[in-house]
Amino acid sequence: RTSTMLLQHEQGHFDLTEVHARKLRQAFADAKLTRADAAQRVAALADSVTRALDARQDMYDQGTHYGRDEAEQAAWSTRIGRELDGLAAWAVKDR
C-alpha cells in the first residue's frame, strides 16, 4: 500500500508538470510575438510558468503531506485530473 501511495503522489508531480507545460503552450500560442520582442517575451513566459510550477509543486507536497494524507492526495489527484482535462487542447498529440 505504501508503494502505491508513493507512486500516486509522484504521478501527481508528473501531472502537475504536464499541466504547466500545457499552460506554457497555450501562452505561447496566445502571445502576439514580433521578431523584435520574441526572445525576451518567450523567456519571460517560460520563467513565469516555471515559477508557478515550482510554487504549485510545493503546495502539492504540503497539502498532501508528501503523499501521506490519503484524503488530500485523492483530492489533489482529482483536481489535477480536471486541470489536465481542461487543458486537453494543449496536450502534445501523437505524431
Per-residue pLDDT of the chain (95 residues; tens, 9 = 90+): 689 999 999 999 999 999 999 999 999 999 988 889 999 999 999 999 999 999 999 999 999 999 999 999 999 999 999 999 999 999 998 76
- Given its phi and psi angles, is residue 32 left (phi above 0), alpha (psi -120 to 50 degrees) or beta? beta
All cell numbers assigned to 72: 488530500
User: What's the pTM value of the predicted model, to 2 decimals?
Assistant: 0.90
**Sign of the alpha-carbon dihedral angle for 55, 61, 65, 70:** positive
CB 33 within 8 A of CB 42: yes
CB 72 within 8 A of CB 63: yes
